[in-house]
């Protein structure tokens, strides 16, 4: 069997920035174990598999090097980049078990706008001690949604200088950890840590912005926000917060197209 593989850098205008994802379009699903092995072999933060449905939508599944992930924003952007190019269309409708339908539109400037369900976090009155001990700087507030704990800081400088203890943060599974703060250059910045699910730090994490954007939108009293994920590669995300959805917009660039031999 031969499969076509694409590797795309998402949430960036330039190669070697943003977050990388592999995309593998399928005509029918592979066995789960095989997709897990491919995700581990690729060893990028996410490998997205897509499969076209009879109604024209594309089912999508995401695999980190360690496990299947139920929702990944940057690999959805990467998959939309590939499918819009292959099918010469400007809209892709994805379907995923955990989050339902995900609509992605390609804009005239080449960016992609992805509309996701809003996943606003709620404040945690008694944060887990493993979370607090796993962060080198104590947050001023902790929140949580279905995906992660949100450690809120006073300044972007604190977020950028933060160190973490991955072994302690692993014990918070299935929840990951995002650190966030307001910024002079952007509306907010963040860093994302997921040692139990994929790696110590993710470069750019689209999915968590469905929680970050509603939090900062309420605090800053605005619905359109600019965000920067302050990892070593960095990534830019435009966020538009609606009543029940969050639209994330970003660019992507191709790194490679090749063949997997199975």
Interatomic CA distance for residues 90 and 78, integer angstroms:
14
Phi, psi of 196 (to 5 degrees): -85, -15
Neighbour count for residue 196 (Cβ, 10 Å): 18
CB 156 within 8 A of CB 181: yes
Q: Spell out the residues 6+ positions from residue 256 whose beta carbon is closer than 8 angstroms to its own.
A: 5, 6, 7
Pick the catalytic residue: 27, 46, 86, 221?
A: 46
46 is catalytic: yes
DSSP reduced 3-state for 138:
coil
Helix and strand numbers (H, E) in the chain are 6, 18
Contact 83, 48 (CB under 8 A): no
Among 66, 88, 145, 113, which Cα is nearest to 47's?
A: 66
Which residues are known to be catalytic?
Answer: 46
């Amino acid at each position: 069997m031969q499969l076509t593989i694409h590797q795309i850098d998402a949430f960036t205008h330039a190669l070697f920035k943003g977050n990388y994802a592999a995309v593998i379009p399928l005509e029918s699903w592979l066995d789960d174990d095989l997709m897990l092995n491919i995700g581990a072999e690729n060893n990028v933060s996410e490998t997205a598999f897509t499969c076209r449905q009879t109604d024209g939508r594309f089912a999508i599944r995401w695999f980190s090097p360690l496990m299947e992930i139920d929702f990944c924003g940057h690999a959805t952007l990467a998959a939309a980049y590939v499918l819009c190019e292959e099918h010469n269309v400007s809209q892709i409708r994805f379907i995923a078990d955990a989050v339902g339908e995900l609509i992605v539109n390609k804009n005239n400037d080449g960016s992609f706008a992805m509309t996701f369900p809003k996943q606003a976090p709620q404040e945690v009155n008694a944060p887990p001690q493993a979370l607090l001990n796993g962060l080198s700087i104590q947050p001023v507030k902790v929140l949580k949604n279905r995906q992660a704990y949100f450690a809120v800081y006073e300044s972007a400088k604190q977020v950028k200088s933060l160190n973490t203890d991955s072994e302690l943060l692993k014990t918070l599974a299935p929840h990951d950890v995002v650190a966030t703060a307001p910024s002079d250059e952007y509306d907010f910045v963040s860093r994302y840590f997921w040692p139990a699910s994929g790696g110590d730090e993710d470069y750019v994490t689209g999915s968590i912005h469905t929680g970050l954007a509603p939090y900062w939108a309420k605090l800053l009293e605005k619905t359109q926000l600019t965000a920067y994920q302050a990892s070593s590669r960095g990534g830019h995300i435009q966020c538009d917060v609606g009543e029940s959805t969050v639209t994330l917009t970003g660019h992507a660039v191709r790194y490679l197209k090749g063949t997997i031999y199975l």
